[in-house]
Amino acid sequence: MSDTAGHDRKDPALSFGPVADAYDRGRPSYPIEAAVWLTGRTPSTVVELGAGTGKFTDRLVELRHDVLATDPSDQMLGHLRLRHPDLRVATAPAEAVPVATRSVDTVVAAQSFHWFDADTALREAARMLKPEGRIGLLWNQRDERIPWVKKLGAIIGNQDQDVDPTDVLVGSKLFGYVENEVFRHWQPLRKNDLRDLVLSRSNVAVLDPMAQDRVLRKVDELYEEYDRGPNGLLLPYVTRCYRAVVRPRGQMDEPEHSADLTAEAKAVRDAISAKQGYREPEDPATTLIDFR
């Protein structure tokens, strides 16, 4: 999720920084029931990967978990820091998190796992988790059984509507049986809210201004066609959740000490920098975080 324009044109996953404001205004929250199902009601230690502007983080804070929120985009995290100034936040990719080995109860990723290097990110999640710790992944997906929502998908694309990490989790051999659950909720939208939602999508964010304007005009026309009152439209979502317990450590090769971890994290960050154009922030969080 680098902010560099050149990379944004090549990889939609790096496009969110420049549209952080629209993302924070336009993206929906998540059902509190989904957060409970993934992390439990008892306060625990949680690392959130790809936290963005904090849409799911809000729910974790509401449940009083001890949270570290991470994201490679400092622009996205800026909104989260404003809303939760006392929360621990680190500008870091999911593949190299400054957290001590075996110190976390749950690792979660909301609407972001499909952007990660899955193999590396899963190894990193497994490393951070305590014995019997869990990984939790979730996505908000538009319910396109509703006619106007299906038309919206035809305009803005629906490439993120069919995301199921079960095979990837099982194939990693780092986690056990994958459970899944579904929750439903609605997002109230006025015209400008819908425009922000559309602008926050990676495939729209990378378009040139003229192409963006053409998409927004079609979205405006759709809104006008279906708007029936002062409260605007309700966009229905299906929140799909997946969780799995980390396997026993005897089956994994992992660094045990902070020095080893720091060196490994630096190597991963260097590799990501070369591959994706990821840039360290001016004042990176280099201190190893230990929840214990």
Query: Tokens for 52?
Result: 């963005």
Query: Tokens for 235?
Result: 């966009």
pLDDT tens, the chain, 292 aa long: 333 333 333 444 444 555 788 888 989 999 999 999 999 999 999 999 999 999 999 999 999 999 999 999 999 999 999 999 999 999 999 999 999 999 999 999 999 999 899 999 999 999 999 999 999 999 999 999 999 999 999 999 876 667 899 999 999 999 999 999 999 999 999 999 999 999 888 788 778 889 989 999 999 999 999 997 788 899 999 999 999 999 997 655 555 444 455 555 556 556 555 554 444 444 444 467 877 6
**119 alpha carbon, distance to own chain's centre:** 16
For the chain, the straight-line distance linking the first and the last C-alpha, in angstroms and rounded, comes to 30
β-pair partners for 185: 237
Query: For the packed helices 191-199 and 209-226, what is the interaxial angle rounded to 10 degrees?
Result: 140
Rounded to a whole number of angstroms, the CA Rg of the chain reads: 19
**Nearest to 165, CA basis, from 84, 225, 244, 68:** 244
CA 46 – CA 246 distance, rounded (Å): 14
CA 147 – CA 233 distance, rounded (Å): 13
Q: Provide, for the chain, the percentages of residues in helix, strand and coil under a 3-state DSSP scheme, each rounded to the nearest 5.
A: 45, 20, 35
Q: What pLDDT, in 10s, does the model give residues 56-109?
A: 999 999 999 999 999 999 999 999 999 999 999 999 999 999 999 999 999 999
- Cβ-in-10-Å burial (0-12, 13-18, 19+) of 88 comes to middle
CA 242 – CA 38 distance, rounded (Å): 8
Question: Do residues 87 and 27 lie in contact, with contact meaning Cβ atoms separated by under 8 Å?
Answer: no
3-class state of residue 12 by DSSP:
helix
In this prediction the pTM is: 0.82
CA 7 – CA 28 distance, rounded (Å): 26
Question: Do residues 32 and 60 lie in contact, with contact meaning Cβ atoms separated by under 8 Å?
Answer: no
**Nearest to 107, CA basis, from 49, 33, 165:** 49
* CATH of segment(s) 5-144+160-186+237-276: 3.40.50.150
Query: Tokens for 147?
Result: 């006619």
